[in-house]
Chains A and B, each alone.
Chain A
Amino acid sequence: MKKTLYITRSGVLKRKENTLFFVDEDGKRKFIPVEDTNDIFIFSEIDLNTKLLDFLSQKSICVHFFNYYGYYTGTYYPREHLNAGHVILKQSEAYLDKKLRLDLARRFISGSINQMKQVLRYYANRRKENNELLLGIIEELNSSLLKLNNAETVEELMAFEGHARENYYRGFDEIIRNDDFQFGKRSKRPPLNRLNALISFGNSLCYTMILSEIYKTYLDPRIGFLHSTNFRRFSLNLDVAEIFKPIMVDRLIFQLINKRMITQKDFEKEHGGGILLNDKGRRTFLEQMESRMRTTVNHRHLGKNVSYRRLIRLELYKIQKHLLGEKPYEPYASLW
């Protein structure tokens, strides 16, 4: 499996001797094998030139930029290297046809709610006692799932999803039980407390990681079905993230907090009143996220072990099969 390169130190990234070369601000030099690089995440101030961008395009490598605060800035998405008119037509058709779009959007939402349920169930089972709150939320999520069939527009579906997610977040304090990380309510741009900071950072990583995978398929990231941000920026990755956020991000956050790998020392307050991860916190988060993405799970259908990262690709393949009319999309359902 090719590697993701995370750059958290400032410096210069360039093409040298037909591979990648990084010099950090202290003058430390490092060659990075380009053939083994999947994508690049940059969290620091990096100097780069068009020669590098040209090289990255040649090697089909996406670069995701995050600013000083860890907010997603944008992606250098090289020219498409995989093109199939047939797939684009089918993807557009599924967007333009109201019934097809609603059907696909509903599949994303139900997959998402099922994943939330799975996360809650995991912690409810571990507790054995005092788990009424979590069990209660699971019940409510079940009734949300039933309601999805009544939705007649994508907007309605989004509202159901929002409601379900609020319910789901009610379980967070119960799972974490740590006064340093109280949920309060969801706040973004800026996140107003530590837990929200972790969720925001994790989610943006999730979105970009999925974008990197979409680049390696025939799907067009600009055509989403659930998120109506079409034509302005990437949106298919946001749809697919609904399936992966609970296991990729939320479970990771619980692990980081409960094992005290991240504590209140890993945060800082910015001028606007927002709370954000500091350098060290961000690094810990990235390391743990990466090791989580490399973890393999047994895949029932393929009969082999696949990494979480690969699961994303398989999910995209399933969506493409749905669009081509091969097989209706059944979202990934984690069993643990």
Chain B
Amino acid sequence: MRDDVYPVTGTHIWYYFICKRELWLMMHSIAPDQEDENIDIGRFLHDYYSKRGKEEVDIGSGKIDRIKKVGNELVVQEIKKTSRFKESSYFQLLFYLEQLKQMGIKAKGELLFTEEKTKEQVELTDENREKLLEAVKDIQTYAKLPVPPSPKKIKFCNRCAYRDYCWAGED
């Protein structure tokens, strides 16, 4: 990890909007319990989809699920299983749009929720861009914290593979 500016990726944006503690642990390469069944399922799904030819597009600091051209417009798609983590998915996609913009590429975004078979349009605006950049700065602050943020019980805890680690010995 560099001391000055921590290179933020789309995944960090994702964790940031779910749980700051998870973000810290991930940034310090402390992965969650590998025996958790949700992790197994996730790994399986990833393998399954990559075998089916769904190709990720590398844009330097992250991987975009899919890019396509509709008319004259570029559309970036982010594929998620459910809309359970909507806010996270939304900002993760915005982050990719912002990165493309910095490369001089104008694009629109689309969130796909496969289980619900729904689609959502996402566009980079001044307003949400400001919120995004704030998050990026905040993530860099979290990266420098010497101690992980203490666990907080939220609705995502019950299916999180860190739960035993977070709550071991906590009252």
- On A, residues with C-beta under 8 Å from B are 2, 60, 81-87, 216, 218, 301-302, 310, 313-315, 317-318, 320-321, 324-327, 329-330
Contact = CB atoms under 8 A, between A and B. Distances in A.
Name B's interface SS.
Answer: loop
Given A326-B148, A327-B169, 9 more contacts: A2-B35, A81-B34, A86-B29, A87-B28, A302-B163, A317-B168, A318-B169, A326-B147, A326-B150
Nearest to A331: B169
A94 to B, nearest CB: 14
B146 interface: yes
Given A301-B167, A302-B164, A325 B30 contact: no
Given A301-B169, A317-B168, A325-B146, A83 B35 contact: no
A302 B167 CA distance: 6
Contacts of B34: 60, 81-82, 216
Nearest to B170: A301
B147 A216 contact: no
A83 B29 contact: yes
Nearest first, the 7 closest Cβ-Cβ pairs linking A and B are A317-B168, A314-B168, A318-B169, A86-B28, A325-B147, A84-B29, A317-B165
Interface in B133-171: 146-148, 150, 163-165, 167-171
17 contacts: A84-B28, A87-B30, A216-B34, A216-B35, A218-B30, A301-B169, A301-B171, A302-B163, A302-B167, A310-B164, A314-B169, A318-B168, A321-B168, A324-B147, A326-B148, A327-B170, A329-B169
Interface residues of B, number: 19
B169 A321 contact: yes
Contact of A86 (B30, B164, B169, B171): B30
A309 to B, nearest CB: 12
B169 to A, nearest CB: 4
Given A2-B35, A317-B164, A324-B148, A330 B169 contact: yes
B100 interface: no
Contacts of B29: 83-86
Contacts of B45: none
Contacts of B147: 324-326
A242 B170 CA distance: 22
A301 B169 CA distance: 6
